[in-house]
A and B are shown apart, each in its own frame.
Chain A
Amino acid sequence: MGTIKIKELISDLQDFYLFSIRGFLGTIKQPFYFKDMVEQMDYAGAGSFLIVFLVSLFIGMALSLQLSAELSRLGLKMYTGKIVGISIIREIGPVTAALVFAGRVGSGMASELGSMILGHQVDSLRVFGVDPMKKLVTPRILSSIIMLPALTIIGDAISLFGGYYIAVFVSHQSSTVYWSSIRDVLTFENVFAGAAKPFIFGYLIACISCYMGLSTKGGAKGLRRSTTSAVVISIVMIIVSDFILTRVLLYALGFSV
């Protein structure tokens, strides 16, 4: 029994690996389904804006509140902006946006493709000579790679404003000091370390969600299973890859640990 499960897992990993490569190749090989991609970008980007706005705002405020409380005890309140800036830009912003994206967009992708499988719509595409990878998966990968970084930048800005509100109006710090600290941390290294991650996260979320969706079998129960798996695996992979990317980027950008 155990051996069969391990074999299934290895086989699934192999399928996923090939699926991810085919998905990537789809972005550089014709035909391109531009209209589908724009539709997906609207769903993934514009549709996620409000939730990213709210989550980022409150995370920025909570972080600033925690730091202000702790730093004021040490007489170092003026560093609030700097620490909020570094945390948000390099780590919390990209991960938060990716987690929100996985929850909202990843689950949507998996359930949509899953119901298309169960309703024989994917079979119809194949019968009509349309490659489901090109028509369904590639536009979702591209839209995720484009929209998640955009959402991350917006989310970072909103978090910084949330942090500003707490630092200035609750913790009574100087507005000038807060923004000049933020300006100081907006170096190439910091921005690059944060901006590179969402591209990878977007690709991972789209590949995992599409793969799980297209692997759906077994009716409504199967659809529930594939949607849940898409979100859970995406979240785990975001956290794991974040650690790996952080390690690689810190090394590549010359930070000493």
Chain B
Amino acid sequence: MIVFDKVWFSYNTQQVLKDVSFSINENERVAILGGSGEGKTTILKLILGIVRPDSGEIVIDGENITSKTEEDLREVRMKFSIVFQEGALFDSLNVKENVAFCLREYSKLSEDEIDRKVREILRIVDVEHAMELMTDELSGGMHRRVAIARSLAASEPRMFLYDEATTGLDPINADNICRLILDLCKNGKGLVIVTHKVLDAIKVANRFMFLKEGMIIFDGDRDKLLHSTVSEIQMFISELNI
């Protein structure tokens, strides 16, 4: 479903991705690991066409999206559901309005129907009780759950994208979010999660890539990751021994 072919990307003079190539199938659960500033989030932004590569091709469902216009990209983006780092909820809206945002923008549903649908989605992520709260009144875990709810309301995604979905959460909340992420993939849907938390990545993914200085230095399954001899990866997985 997602193919990166020799993708190079830079922000001004800073080279972020260097000759990155990989392909991800629709039902794969992939974790992209790496330190801060290694270009993990950029990969998600490239998948959605939020930023464009300097060179190389990004193919989604057989279509090269690198030269698509903002209007054409909407169709591509509807195939995914993304949860940005720290949720990226609209802080001027309450929980209900955040989740209802896309329904109000695009659907022709009545207010009653929107209300019903929002409740249904919030029930799935277990934050129905927080419906009237403003986003700054939510705990970190609730924030992520609402962000997941909002992304579910936005589209019928074929794949989920998560940007540091568990960062900043305590282990219990992080574990709950991981369970929710897995629950949403139960019917065979795939996901791409970018994170620096190996423990959480192992809980939700079955394929792992490791980014270092803008290049993918590792691509393999759980066993291969745990037995990797690459020093950076060993440093990351040392977290698991604690």
Is A131 located at the chain interface by the 8 A CB criterion? yes
Q: Which residues does chain B contribute within 8 Å of A127, judged by CB atoms? A: 48, 50, 77, 80, 82, 154
User: What would be 9 A-B contacts, judged by CB atoms less than 8 Å apart?
Assistant: A121-B89, A121-B91, A123-B50, A126-B77, A127-B50, A127-B77, A129-B77, A129-B78, A130-B105
User: Residues of B at under 8 Å CB distance from A?
Assistant: 45, 48, 50, 70, 74, 77-78, 80, 82, 84-86, 88-91, 101-102, 105-106, 154, 163
Contacts of B80 in A (CB 8 A): 127
Interchain pairs with CB closer than 8 A, number: 41
Known: A128-B154, A131-B70. A119 touches B91 (CB 8 A): yes
Q: At the interface, yes or no: A124 with Cβ under 8 Å from chain B? A: yes
Cα distance A127–B84 in the bound complex, in angstroms: 11
In the complex, chain B residues whose CB is within 8 Å of the CB of A124: 82, 84, 88, 90
Determine whether A120 belongs to the interface, using a CB cutoff of 8 Å to chain B.
yes
Residues facing B in A122-177 (CB within 8 A) are 123-124, 126-131
Min CB distance B72 to A, Å, is 11
Provide the residues of chain A in CB contact with B77, threshold 8 Å: 126-129
With A128-B154, A129-B106, A131-B70: A120-B101 Cβ-Cβ less than 8 Å:
no
Q: Which residues of A contact B154 (CB under 8 A)?
A: 127-128
B140 vs chain A, min Cβ distance (A) = 14
Residues on A with C-beta less than 8 A from B105 are 128-130
Separation of A130 and B50 alpha carbons in the complex (Å): 12
Which residues of A are interface residues toward B (Cβ below 8 A)?
Answer: 119-121, 123-124, 126-131
Contact residues of B: prevailing secondary structure: mixed
Is B106 within 8 A of A120, CB to CB? no
Taking the closest CB of chain B, its distance from the CB of A159, in whole angstroms, is: 34
Smallest CB-CB A-B distances: 10 pairs: A120-B88, A120-B84, A129-B74, A124-B88, A128-B102, A127-B77, A121-B88, A128-B154, A123-B50, A119-B88
Nearest-neighbour CB distance to chain B for A236, whole angstroms, equals 26
Once bound together, how far apart are the Cα atoms of A200 and B77, in whole Å?
Answer: 38
Given contacts A128-B101, A128-B154, A129-B74, contact A123 B106 (CB under 8 A): no
Q: Which residues of B contact A119 (CB under 8 A)?
A: 86, 88, 91
Chain A residue with the shortest CB-CB distance to B102: A128
Q: Which residues of B contact A123 (CB under 8 A)?
A: 45, 50, 84, 88
Nearest B residue to A119 via CB reads B88
| Chain B nearest Cβ from A121, distance in angstroms | 5
Across-interface contacts of A126 in B (CB, < 8 A): 50, 70, 77
Complex Cα spacing A126 to B76, Å: 12
Assess whether B85 is in contact with A120, with CB atoms less than 8 Å apart. Answer: yes
Chain A residues, CB < 8 A from B78: 129
Rounded to whole angstroms, the CA-CA distance of A59 and B78 in the bound complex is 55
Given contacts A120-B163, A121-B91, A129-B105, 16 further A-B contacts (CB under 8 A): A119-B88, A120-B86, A121-B89, A121-B90, A123-B45, A123-B50, A124-B84, A124-B88, A126-B50, A127-B50, A128-B101, A128-B154, A129-B77, A129-B78, A130-B105, A131-B70
Find the residue from A124, A127, A128 having the highest chain B CB count within 10 A.
Answer: A127
CB distance from B92 to the nearest CB of A (A): 8
A128–B101 Cα distance when bound, in Å, is 9
Q: Which residues of A contact B106 (CB under 8 A)?
A: 129
Chain A residue at minimum C-beta to C-beta distance from B71: A129
Q: In the complex, A129→B73 CA distance in Å?
A: 8
Distance A124 CA – B89 CA, assembled complex (angstroms): 8
CB proximity of B191 to chain A, nearest CB, Å? 16
CB distance from A186 to the nearest CB of B (A): 41
A123 to B82, CA, bound (A): 10
Cβ of A217 to closest chain B Cβ, rounded Å: 8
Specify which chain B residues have a CB less than 8 angstroms from the CB of A130 in the assembled complex. 105
Residues from chain B with Cβ under 8 Å of A128 in the complex: 77, 101-102, 105, 154
Closest to B74 in A: A129
Contacts of B91 in A (CB 8 A): 119, 121
Minimal beta-carbon separation of A238 from chain B (angstroms): 28
> Which chain A positions have C-beta within 8 A of B70?
126, 131
Q: Compute how far the CA of A127 lies from the CA of B50 in the bound complex, rounded to whole angstroms.
A: 8
Complex Cα–Cα for A126 and B74 (A) = 8
Q: Please report the C-alpha to C-alpha distance between residue A182 and residue B88 in the assembled complex, in whole angstroms.
A: 54
Chain A contacts for B74, CB-based, 8 A: 129
Measured in the bound complex, the distance between the Cα atoms of B135 and A119 in whole Å is 13
